[in-house]
A = this chain, B = another copy of it.
Amino acid sequence: MRIGILTIGNELTSGKTQDTNTSFIARHVFRQGWEVAAMLSVGDDDEAIRSGLEYLLGLAAALIVTGGLGPTTDDMTTAAIARAFGLPLFTDEAVLEQIKERMTSRNRPWIPNNAKQAAFPEGAERIANPVGTAWGFALKRYGKLIAVMPGVPAEAEKMLLEGVIPRFREEFAEKVEVLTRIIKLSGVSESAVDQLLADIPLAGLGVGIGFYPRFPELEVVLTLRDDLPERAAERMAQAEGLVVQRLSGHIIAYDQETLEGVVAALLESRKMTLALAESCTGGLISDRLTDVPGSSGFFERGLVTYSNLSKEEQLGVPAEVIRRHGAVSAETAVSMAEGVRRIAKTDFGISVTGIAGPGGGTPEKPVGTVFIALADGAKTECRRFSFPWDRRRNKVLASQWALMMLQNRLVGGGEDHAQ
Are B305 and A301 in contact, CB atoms less than 8 angstroms apart?
yes
Are A302 and B290 in contact, CB atoms less than 8 angstroms apart?
no
Considering the complex, give the chain B residue whose CB is closest to the CB of A25. Answer: B15
| In the complex, A250 has a CB within 8 A of chain B | no
Residues of chain B lying within 8 A (CB to CB) of residue A278 = 283, 286
Count of chain A residues near B, Cβ 8 A: 106
Which stretch in A88-96, A190-198, A330-338 binds the other chain? A190-198
Pick the contact of A73: B18, B194, B301 (CB < 8 A): B194
| In the complex, A245 has a CB within 8 A of chain B | no
| In the complex, A413 has a CB within 8 A of chain B | no
| In the complex, A339 has a CB within 8 A of chain B | no
| In the complex, A83 has a CB within 8 A of chain B | no
Pick the contact of A114: B13, B107, B191, B291 (CB < 8 A): B191
Residues of chain B lying within 8 A (CB to CB) of residue A301 = 303-307, 310, 314
Q: How far is the CA of A301 from the CA of B277 in the complex (A)?
A: 11
Interface string of A378-392 (1 = CB under 8 A from B): 000000000010111
Are B388 and A106 in contact, CB atoms less than 8 angstroms apart?
yes
Residues of chain B lying within 8 A (CB to CB) of residue A248 = none
| In the complex, A408 has a CB within 8 A of chain B | no
With A40-B40, A210-B11, A301-B304 known as contacts, the answer to whether A20 contacts B18 (CB < 8 A) is: yes
Q: Can you spell out 23 A-B residue pairs with CB atoms less than 8 angstroms apart?
A: A13-B26, A13-B36, A13-B39, A15-B30, A18-B23, A19-B19, A36-B43, A38-B48, A39-B40, A39-B42, A72-B190, A106-B388, A113-B191, A152-B213, A152-B215, A154-B215, A276-B304, A282-B291, A283-B283, A287-B395, A301-B304, A303-B304, A313-B343
